Structure 1
Amino acid sequence: MDAMPDATAGEWLKPSLDTVWHDMHSVVPRGFPAYARIFHPVLRDRPQDTGTWHGHPRMGIFPLDEQAVGWSEVAGSFGTEMHPLAQFHRLVGVERNTQEILDSAGWRYSEPDTGNLAPDILASVAARLCEHTSTPDEGVSAIWEGWGGLPSSDGFAQLTLSDGGTSVKRPSRFFRRKSKPGSGLLPAEMVNGGTLELPGRTYYLFDSAPQFYRQQSWVNQVPWHRSPQFPQSPSILWPADRSWVMVTEIDFDSTVVAGSHELVAALVQDPGIEALPLNEGADLMWDADIPNRPGQ
């Protein structure tokens, strides 16, 4: 997992991206035969004592039942319809960040992660990706420069873990460069070197094999996060033969893979991945006018 000295390896993406935002193709390249949308898991919990948050006094400390579920299960819990362009807030029937999300069974839901694919899901995705490239041992990972603490020591918040009381530094999403470049996770020569400039985004590039992500142990080895407790998946990943591209845009709560029809079919059929085929030109913006409720 070596830093790349310049952005040459990513220049091929530029002609395939829109410079003005119309749909997903400001971040996902055009021109591939097929596309798949991989939905980031949703976490839900409820208190063990009553089995529901409805009417729960919420006083003191009490154990929780916790689950990671797919969007299809969320849709089933709220009586809404799952489809390739689903918007999470419409599946649960609330505006974003306006209220607690509870279903009729008393489960409380957190919104899916944006800009980050969970390590276990990434491992399943990487297995399928490696089956559909001639170069599974050669590729490139692009990491968005704005994750806190990469170019400098700015952008970290102190967090005390409840299980052991250990203080760790957790990266924030944005940073302001006040500290010296090179004082963060990445060396000064990389921070001051070439970066990949795509529409509205700047990335650092790393020489990395797609095979690397098939094992969840990658979280202990990459140089772009400080703690495996808070792993950060690649923003963009592609193999040396450019047969596919995986994009986890920082503002998306899902990951898009562009590739062959066979690859998309394999992703959709994998039981460890929640994915649906996506049409070229799909709009995945938060405020897209997509109906989720039957009859809407």
Structure 2
Amino acid sequence: MEWMRETAAGDWIRDRLDASTATGAHVPGGFEAYARVFHPVFRERPVGAQWPEPGDEDAWERFAAAGHEIDTESVTWRQAADALGSRFDALDSWGSLSAVPGHDDVRDGAGWRYQDPDEGTLDPGVLTAVARVLIAHTETPDDGFAAVWDGWGGLVGARAAPSGVSAVYSESGIPEHHAVLRASFKDAFNAPLRKAGWRPGVLSDEISRGPRFDLPTRSHVLFRAAPTAWADDGWPETVPWNEPDAPWLHSPSLIWPDDRAWVVVTEVDADSTIVGGTAALIRALEAADGVEASEVPEGAGLE
């Protein structure tokens, strides 16, 4: 996977964004069809016991001291909806689907307690399953690109400003970046004895200081990456932003092949991923094992 200093390969995405809809602001338009890929839902329940009621601190202390075994599993949104007695719709938010009267947290009648789906990242195994479908729907499965949002904590190096604020040092043209830098310089003038320093990130200093692939609302680090790479179960160990001791791994924010036959967009604040492509691709995703996907209209799916 090769870092791209030249970012023009992504210009077509910027040209096809439409800020008039929540999804269109992040997902390029013009594809024949779109699918929403739902991020898995994690749930847990104690073996041979019940969760204490929310807010009952004494009960929670006794529960913790008892050392109960906890069952855990990942389920689909449809499975969660069935268990919670909710109606599943491809355009629903997790919040509307998981609203359970009388509870501060989300539980079903069988004792499972639910966590919100991950936002901004697609489960590695699900991405692999999606990619195995994608590579059959492009003429360039060995040539493509991937971009990762540069705002993930610690991903890129940053200049620790005299004010104590971390200012990203890059050649980005995003006005917010310049505003932070201007504020940092002003504070340095007012407090000359405080020195700025450089804090390295997971990615190299060269990448951290280099150009970004900028979209209207996000700034990304762009890599040349074969679509087939994501179809390999071992992709998490091969990406440049892999941090071996970290408890998480971020999936790419965008993936597309050289022929632009499709695009995968995982928006930072979204609990699902949008795929744009041909109608045949979307039907294949809906039928794929290990993937929960539903067709959605263009400009929908992230509300």
TM-score (norm 1): 0.83
Identity %: 39
Aligned counterparts, 1:275-290, within 5 A: 275-282=293-300, 284-285=302-303
CA deviation string 1:36-89 (max 9, x = no partner): 000000000001132x42677523222111010000011101111111101111
Matched residue, 2:187: none
Counterpart position of 2:5: 5
Aligned residue number for residue 269 of structure 1: 287
Aligned residue for 1:284, secondary structure, equals coil
Looking at structure 2, the residues matched to 218 and 224 of structure 1 have their Cα atoms a distance apart, in angstroms, of: 11
1:211 to 208, 228, 243: 228
Asked if the contact 2:201/2:208 (under 8 Å) is kept, the reply is no
- Residue in structure 2 matched with residue 43 of structure 1 by the alignment: 42
Paired AA for residue 131 in structure 2: A
Q: Deviations over 1:161-220 (max 9, x none)?
A: xxxxxxxxxxxxxx7557526x21222222222211101100110111111011221111
Q: SS of the counterpart of 2:13?
A: helix
Greater mean deviation of Cα atoms: 210-219 or 120-129: 210-219
Structure with bigger gyration radius: 2
User: Secondary structure, in 3 states, of the residue corresponding to 1:237?
Assistant: strand
User: CA-atom RMSD, angstroms?
Assistant: 2.3
Q: What is the letter of the counterpart of residue 48 of structure 2?
A: D
> Which residue of 2 is the match for residue 186 of structure 1?
203
**2:72 corresponds to 1:74:** no
Matches within 5 A, 1:140-219: 140-152=145-157, 177=168, 179-180=197-198, 183-219=200-236
1:83-131: per-residue Cα shift (whole Å, max 9, x none)?
1101111111159xx9221111110000000001001101100000000
| Equivalent-residue separation in structure 2 for 1:253 and 1:138 (angstroms) | 28
Rounded to whole Å, the distance in 1 between the matches of 2:28 and 2:197 is 35
On the 8 A contact 2:36/2:301 being kept in 1, the answer is no
1:30 match: 29
Structure 1, unaligned runs of 5 or more: 156-174, 286-296
Query: What displacement does 1:23 show?
Result: 2.5
Cα distance between partner residues in 1 of 2:278 and 2:31: 7
The CA deviation string for residues 209-258 of structure 1, in whole angstroms up to 9 with x for no partner, is 11101122111111113127411100000001100000000011000000
**SS class of match (1:59):** helix
Counterpart-to-counterpart distance in 2, 1:15 and 1:153: 29
Secondary structure, aligned partner of 1:180: strand
Q: Distance in 2 between matches of 1:245 and 1:59?
A: 45
Pair 1:179–1:93, CA change in 2 (3 A): farther
Q: What's the counterpart of residue 173 of structure 2? A: none
TM-superposed CA distance for 1:153, in Å, is 6.5
> What are the residue-to-residue correspondences of 1:218-233 with 2, within 5 Å?
218-227=235-244, 229-233=247-251
Q: Residue type of the partner of 2:3?
A: A
Q: Distance in 2 between matches of 1:179 and 1:263?
A: 48
- 2:288 maps to amino acid: D
8 Å CA contact retained: 1:22, 1:283: no
In structure 2, C-alpha distance between the alignment counterparts of 1:146 and 1:283, rounded to whole Å: 23
SS in 2 for 1:125: helix
| Preserved CA contact (<8 Å) 2:144 2:256 | yes
Does the 8 Å contact 1:153/1:185 carry over to 2?
Answer: no
Give the whole-Å Cα distance in 1 for the aligned partners of 2:120 and 2:159: 20
Are the counterparts in 1 of residues 262 and 275 from structure 2 also a CA contact under 8 Å?
Answer: yes
Where does residue 170 of structure 1 map in the other structure? Answer: none
Cα gap change, 1:70/1:151 in structure 2, threshold over 3 Å: closer, same or farther? same
Q: Which of 186-195 and 146-155 deviates more?
A: 146-155
Larger relative helix fraction: 2
Q: Mean Cα displacement is larger for which, 235-244 or 53-62? A: 53-62
Aligned counterpart, 1:131: 136
SS in structure 1 at match of 2:130: helix
Tell whether the 8 Å contact from 1:154 to 1:184 is kept in structure 2 after alignment.
Answer: no
* 3-state SS of paired residue (1:13): helix
Q: In 2 relative to 1, CA 179–251 (structure 1 residues): closer, same or farther, beyond 3 Å?
A: farther
